[in-house]
Amino acid sequence: MNHYVSIDKSFTGLHKLQIKYTMRFSINYMVFSIITLFILGCSHKKNTSLEEVLKLAGKNRHELERVINHYKTAPEDSLKLKAAEFLILNMPGKYTESYDAPWEDVATVNLRWSSSSDKSKVIETYNIGEMIREDDIHHITADYLISNIELAFQVWRDKPWGKHISFETFCEEILPYRIGTEPLENWREKVLASFADLNKLLKEDSTITSVEACIKVNDILPRFRLDKDFSNMNFTQLMATTRGMCDSQAALAAFVMRGLGIPITIDFTPQWKSYPTGHSWNSVCDSAGQHVSFMGTETNPHSPHQGSTLQKAKVYRKTFKNQKLVDTDTSNTPPLFQDNIIDISAEHNNMTNVAIPIKYHSEIQSRYVFLTMFYNFEWRMTGYAKLDSDSIRFQNIGKDVLYLPVYYVNETQIPAGDPFYIDNDGKLYTLKSNVSDSLVSFSAITSENDLDLNWRMVNAVFEISQNSDFSDAQTIHTITNAPNIYNRVRLKKPQMSRYIRYRAPIGKCNVGEIVFYDTLGNELYGTHIGSAGSHENLGDTGDKAFDGDISTFYDALDENNSWTGLDFGEQKTIVRIDYVPRLKGIGIYEYNEYELFCWTNSGWVSLGEKTAKRNTIVFDIPQNTLLYFNNNTINKRGKVFFTRGNNIFFYD
C-alpha cells in the first residue's frame, strides 16, 4: 500500500508538475494569442487611413479585407502585408476606363480616328458606346491583388539585382498592378509566359544588373508605329496593336519590365518648347538607386532619345502612390497637378533656379503660383511654386524658355507677374507689361527662320514644252542656290511656248509662288497643270503656286515625281520668272499690312498698323516688352520678340 501510495504520490507530483507547466504554457500562449489577435484585429482601427479606404470600398470591402487577412497570420508574410496595404491605401482614384465592346471593334475605331474628321460617326457606326469607368476600389478582387503581389515578390526576389532594390522602390516600380486607366487583366502571368526564356536567362545570370536586363528586354520589344487618339490599352492590347503615341510605348515597356522584376518608371514633360505636345519616356533604377532614362521599345539606357536631349521646361515622374505636389481644391488646381507625380527636373541638364517679385496679387488667397510656358500664343501649364512673402521662387526650370507666372483661380489663369525669359547661360530677362515705357525705332525684316525650307528648291528647273506631256521638255532655268524670299530671273533670251512648268528636285517638292512675265512686263495667266494631290492630302496642291498668295505653297503627294505649271492655251513669250520658296508665313512681305501687339497683364494690346515696303517695316516699340506682328493681309501671327540689349531677339 505504501508502495502504491508512493507511486501515487510520485504520479501525483509529476501530474501536478505537468499541470503547472501546461497551465503556464497555456496562459502564456493565451496571452500571446490574445495580444496577437488584438493587434491583428485592431490593425485597421489603428491604421485610420486604411480604415477610411475600406469604408470607401463599400460592398467591395470584404475583397480588400481578404487580401489583408491572407497575409496577416504568417510572420514571413509581414513584408507582403505591407505591400498589400500600400496597394490598398493608394487605390482610391485608380480606375479602368474602357468600352464595353469587342476589342477588335475598339481597335478598328482607334485606327480610323486619325483618318476621319467625324470621330463621333465612326464610334456610332461601330456601336462601341460610351466610355465606362470602373473604380478599382469597388470592383477589384482579392484573388487579383494576391496574384499580383505574389508574382511581383517572386520576380523581385529571384533576380540577381533584386537585392539592390529597396522595398520602397519595389512598391513604386515593380509592385503596382496597373499603369494607367487600362482594362485590368492577368498581365503578369502573360508577361512571364510570353518572355519565359528571357526570364530564365535573367535569373541564371548572377552578375547581370537591372540596367543590363532592361537593355536585353527593350531590344526584343515590338517597335511601334506612331499613331494618335488611342484609348488606354493593357499589356495584351499593346502587344497586339503596337501603335500609339509615346505614352503607349512607355506603358508597354513598364508592363513587360515590371513583370520581369526590373524597376521601371514613366517620366514625362508636359509641354515641349517647339512642339505642340509633351512627351513620355521611361527610366530604370540601377543598383545605386539612380534612374537611367530610355525610350521604351525604341532606345536603350545611356543612348540619346528625345527625353534626354531636347530642351525641357520641367520633368515629372508618375507614381502609384497618391501624392499631389499641390494641395488645393480641384477648381484651383491645374489638371497637371491633379495627377500623382513627383518633380524630377533636378535629374536633367540645363535647369536653373529663379526668383522674381510678386507683381500682381490674387483676390482669392492662394499659397501657390503656377508657371506657364509660351507655345503658339498660349501659356501652357508646366510648373508651380509656393508663395514667399515678397517673391516667387521657381526651382529647376529649363533654360532658353519663355515663361509667365500665373495664379490658377476657378480654372482660369491670371498673371501673377511679368513674362520672363531665361537664356542658355541662365540669364534672366524680365519683360515688363507696360506699353508706356520709352520707345525705340525698330525696323523689322523677314527673320531667317521664315526661310527654313528654301533648300528644297535647290536643283529645281523651269521647263517649257510644246506638248502637254513635256516629252520635248527644254530647261530654261535651273535653281542652283537656296533662294531668298523674292527671286527674279531674267532669261538670257525670250522663250516661246504654250506649256511651262516647275519641276521639283527628287525627294523635295516645295514652292510658294511662281509668276511668269512677257516682254511688256505683263503677268502671264493660264490653266493649271501638274501632278495631282498633295502631301498627306492637306490641300497644298500645285495650283497654290499660282494663286498670288505667298503664304500658301505646293507640297507634293509624290516628292520623287512632282511638278506644277501652266497651259497658256496658245504660244506665249516668256522673258522673266519671279518665284518665292515655301515660307513659314512669319516674315515681313511687301504690301502686306501688319499690326503690332504688346503683352500686358490684361493680354495682348494693339500698338497700331502699317503696310510693309518690300520685306521691311518700321515701328516705334516699347523696350523690354513682349511683342509680335500680326499679318492682317493673310491673318497670320509672326514670332514673338523683345529687345535684348541693343538687339531684337526673336523667340523660337
Residue 599 near residue 575, CB atoms below 8 Å? no
- Percent of the chain exceeding pLDDT 70 equals 89
Greater confidence (327 vs 568) lies with: 568
CA distance 106 to 550: 43
First to last CA, the chain: 115
Give the residue from 635, 629, 646 showing the smallest Cα distance to 587: 629
CA distance 488 to 577: 6
Dihedral sign for Cα atoms in the order 7, 8, 9, 10:
positive
Q: Is the pLDDT of residue 144 over 50?
A: yes
CA distance 526 to 499: 9
CA 264 to chain centre: 18
Grid cell for residue 159:
533576380
Q: Is the pLDDT of residue 472 over 90?
A: yes
Q: Is the pLDDT of residue 467 over 50?
A: yes
Interhelix angle 187-194/246-259, rounded to 10 degrees, is 80
What average pLDDT does this structure show over 304-315? Answer: 94
Please give the pLDDT value at position 9: 34
Please give the pLDDT value at position 53: 96
Please give the pLDDT value at position 551: 80
Look at the block and give the residue holding cell 507689361.
433
CA distance 599 to 603: 6
Please give the pLDDT value at position 438: 58
DSSP 423-453: -TT--EEE----TTSPEEEEEEE--GGGGTT
* Highest mean predicted confidence (pLDDT) among 207-221, 526-540, 552-566: 207-221
Residue 45 near residue 51, CB atoms below 8 Å? yes
Please give the pLDDT value at position 365: 73
Greater confidence (444 vs 550) lies with: 550
User: Backbone dihedral region of 127: left (phi > 0), alpha (psi from -120 to 50 degrees) or beta?
Assistant: left
Other beta carbons within 10 angstroms of residue 120's beta carbon come to 8
CA distance 142 to 88: 11
Residue 108: band (very low, low, confident or very high) from pLDDT cuts 50, 70, 90: confident
Give the residue from 599, 597, 638 showing the smallest Cα distance to 615: 638
Residue 43: band (very low, low, confident or very high) from pLDDT cuts 50, 70, 90: very low
For the chain, what percentages of helix, strand and coil (3-state, to nearest 5) are there?
35, 30, 35
Residue 123: band (very low, low, confident or very high) from pLDDT cuts 50, 70, 90: confident
Helices (H), 47-186: 48-57, 61-72, 78-89, 103-113, 119-126, 136-139, 142-157, 167-173
Q: Is the pLDDT of residue 555 over 80?
A: yes
Residue-averaged pLDDT of the chain: 88
Beta bridge partners of 96: 134
Greater confidence (537 vs 17) lies with: 537
Query: Amino acid letter at 453?
Result: L
Residue 375 near residue 276, CB atoms below 8 Å? yes
Residue 150 has φ and ψ, to the nearest 5°, of -60, -45
Greater confidence (507 vs 53) lies with: 53
Give the residue from 350, 241, 370 showing the smallest Cα distance to 297: 241
Q: Is the pLDDT of residue 204 over 50?
A: yes
Strand 527-530 and strand 636-637: pairing? unpaired
pLDDT digits (tens, 9 = 90+) for 580-629: 999 887 778 888 899 999 999 889 999 999 998 877 788 888 888 999 99
Please give the pLDDT value at position 8: 35
Q: Is the pLDDT of residue 227 over 80?
A: no
Greater confidence (360 vs 474) lies with: 474
Q: Is the pLDDT of residue 240 over 80?
A: yes
Residue 306: band (very low, low, confident or very high) from pLDDT cuts 50, 70, 90: very high
- Percent of the chain exceeding pLDDT 90 equals 65
Q: What is the 3-state secondary structure (H, E, C) of 222-245?
A: CCCEECCCCCCCCHHHHHHHCEEC
Q: Is the pLDDT of residue 345 over 90?
A: yes
DSSP 289-342: S-EEEEBTTTB-TTS--HHHHS-BS--EEE-SS---SS-S-GGGS-GGGGS-EE
Lowest-pLDDT choice from 17-31, 255-269, 291-305: 17-31
Q: What is the CA radius of gyration of the chain?
A: 35
DSSP 48-69: HHHHHHHHHHGGGHHHHHHHHH
pLDDT digits (tens, 9 = 90+) for 519-544: 999 999 999 999 999 987 888 999 99
Coil, helix or strand at residue 377: coil
Beta bridge partners of 243: 225
Please give the pLDDT value at position 538: 85
The HSE-up count of residue 432 (CA atoms within 13 Å, CB side) is 11
Lowest-pLDDT choice from 117-121, 187-191, 441-445: 441-445
Strand 225-226 and strand 243-244: pairing? parallel
Give the residue from 478, 470, 477, 473 showing the smallest Cα distance to 574: 477
Greater confidence (619 vs 182) lies with: 182
Lowest-pLDDT choice from 33-37, 217-221, 424-428, 482-486: 33-37
Beta bridge partners of 405: 371
CA distance 538 to 553: 11
Greater confidence (127 vs 152) lies with: 152
Query: Amino acid letter at 73?
Result: T
pTM: 0.80
Q: Is the pLDDT of residue 19 over 90?
A: no
Residue 449 has φ and ψ, to the nearest 5°, of -75, -5
Lowest-pLDDT choice from 295-304, 317-326, 621-630: 621-630
Give the residue from 243, 187, 179, 253 showing the smallest Cα distance to 216: 253
Grid cell for residue 175:
509592385
Q: Is the pLDDT of residue 471 over 60?
A: yes
Give the residue from 154, 39, 150 showing the smallest Cα distance to 87: 150
Q: Is the pLDDT of residue 347 over 70?
A: yes
Q: 479-516: string of b/e by CB count within 10 Å (b at 16+)?
A: beeebebbbeeeeeeebebbbbbbbbbeebbbbbbbbb
CA distance 308 to 534: 35
CA distance 416 to 359: 6
What average pLDDT does this structure show over 127-142? Answer: 94
What average pLDDT does this structure show over 2-22? Answer: 35
Residue 6: band (very low, low, confident or very high) from pLDDT cuts 50, 70, 90: very low
